[in-house]
Amino acid sequence: MRTTATSTRSIETGHGRLVFPCFMPVTTFGGAFPLDVVARPYLSRFAPALMASHYYAQSMKKPERPNHPLFVDSGGFASLFEGSSVEEHGDMACICTKYGKPLHPAEVLTFQQEYADIGATLDFLIPPGTDEQEAKHKQGLTIKNALWAAGHHVVESSMRLFASLQAWNAESAKQITEKLAALNFDGFALGGMVPRVRTPKVIFEIIGAIREIETDRPLHVFGIGNPKLIRALFEQGVDSVDSSSFLQNAVNKRYLDPHRGEFVPLDEVGSAIKACPCRVCQTLDVEYLRLEGALNNLALALHNLAALHSYCGLERTE
Ligand SMILES: [Zn+2]
């Protein structure tokens, strides 16, 4: 096994000790992505924690709550929905969308405290190209909501509170980390990196600036599913990432090559038995994975997850 992952951190959660580094497969609730329902019971065999967005997690019925460490994000990506707006109050800010009630920091925190093992504070995404003034404003609101959540996090709750970070370069990363590292957060979670995956240098600069200030507590990066980038982030001091790419690629019949760390069309895979030692490939081989059907896609998704773990040098829970 490779040993690229360097974190030795861990945290105690309401569903057991979570040891880093780790990859958190994304799962959704409410039927928007039917394969998630089929896949969910198997994910905990591979990964030590699952990620659910607050946006979808609200549809989770109590019996559906995985008996496994669960990270629930803030659903802050709703600020990018068309027609969404920010509603500022004295010490916090909400996101209003055309769909349903406003996303309020209190509602997010209450939900996380009831259902999540880790929750991230309500943030405001800053896409690449945002003008400096607007970017600073959104970062200020992200800081404000993190401070609000730190002050309202129920002490008795076993939910571990991670401060969401938003930054667009090293300097802005330094500013937000300096403000939030002074508080008693259990960890930090960097958002807004998905549209920056084609410029990993920018992401590395941001991570470097965060890690220069905050050296001890766990650092999560949202939405990263590219195995090569995951390996690089772990080497830079990131402790965990989450993504649904293993599943999306399965739906598109793409197979993660466990040696190259790249998703390739299944048609280009001659023999899965030769390509990969995982249980799926050793028992089902490529003809089965090529067939259309929920179980075939599930098998391919589980291979992709196993291959991601082996490529990134991660322990599996199984
Ligand atoms: Zn495999």
Return the pLDDT at 250. Answer: 96
pLDDT tier at 6 (50, 70, 90 boundaries)?
low
42-70 average pLDDT score: 91
Task: Give tens-digit pLDDT for 255-290.
Answer: 999 999 999 999 999 999 999 999 999 999 899 999
CA distances from 168 to 106, 165, 173, 193, 212 (A): 27, 10, 7, 9, 16
> How, if at all, do strands 262-265 and 254-257 pair?
antiparallel
157-169 average pLDDT score: 97
18-28 average pLDDT score: 95
Return the pLDDT at 317. Answer: 67
Task: Give tens-digit pLDDT for 133-154.
Answer: 999 999 999 999 999 999 999 9
Q: Of 58, 62, 63, 69, which Cα lies nearest the Cα of 28?
A: 58
CA of 11 to the centre of ligand 1 (A): 30
Query: Going from the N-terminus, what domains does the chain have, and what CATH number goes with each?
Result: 10-243 (3.20.20.105)
| For residue 20, pLDDT beyond 70 | yes
CB neighbourhood size of 140 (10 A): 17
Q: What is the DSSP letter of 316?
A: P
CA of 306 to the centre of ligand 1 (A): 6
CA of 45 to the centre of ligand 1 (A): 15
CA of 195 to the centre of ligand 1 (A): 29
Range in 37-41, 124-128, 181-185, 299-303 with the lowest mean pLDDT:
37-41
CA of 275 to the centre of ligand 1 (A): 7
CA of 270 to the centre of ligand 1 (A): 13
- Give the mean pLDDT of the chain: 93
CA of 246 to the centre of ligand 1 (A): 12
CA of 280 to the centre of ligand 1 (A): 5
CA of 123 to the centre of ligand 1 (A): 37
Q: What is the DSSP letter of 58?
A: T
pLDDT tier at 1 (50, 70, 90 boundaries)?
very low
| For residue 3, pLDDT beyond 50 | no
Alpha helices in 61-194 (DSSP H): 105-115, 132-152, 170-180
pTM above 0.85, yes or no: yes
CA of 313 to the centre of ligand 1 (A): 15
CA of 205 to the centre of ligand 1 (A): 34
Task: Give tens-digit pLDDT for 175-212.
Answer: 999 999 999 999 999 999 999 999 999 999 999 999 99
CB neighbourhood size of 238 (10 A): 27
Alpha helices in 11-131 (DSSP H): 34-46, 54-57, 105-115
Altogether, the residues listed in the chain come to a count of 318
CA of 175 to the centre of ligand 1 (A): 43
Structure tokens at 214: 């905050």
Which percentage of the chain shows pLDDT scores above 70?
97
CA of 68 to the centre of ligand 1 (A): 24
Say which residue the tokens 């979570």 belong to: 18
Return the pLDDT at 32. Answer: 84
Return the half-sphere exposure (C-beta side, CA atoms, 13 A cut-off) of residue 67. 2
CA of 287 to the centre of ligand 1 (A): 13
Structure tokens at 248: 């999306």
Return the pLDDT at 210. Answer: 98
Report the alpha-carbon distance of residue 48 to residue 16 in Å, rounded: 9
Which SS3 state, helix, strand or coil, does residue 158 take?
coil
Return the pLDDT at 2. Answer: 42
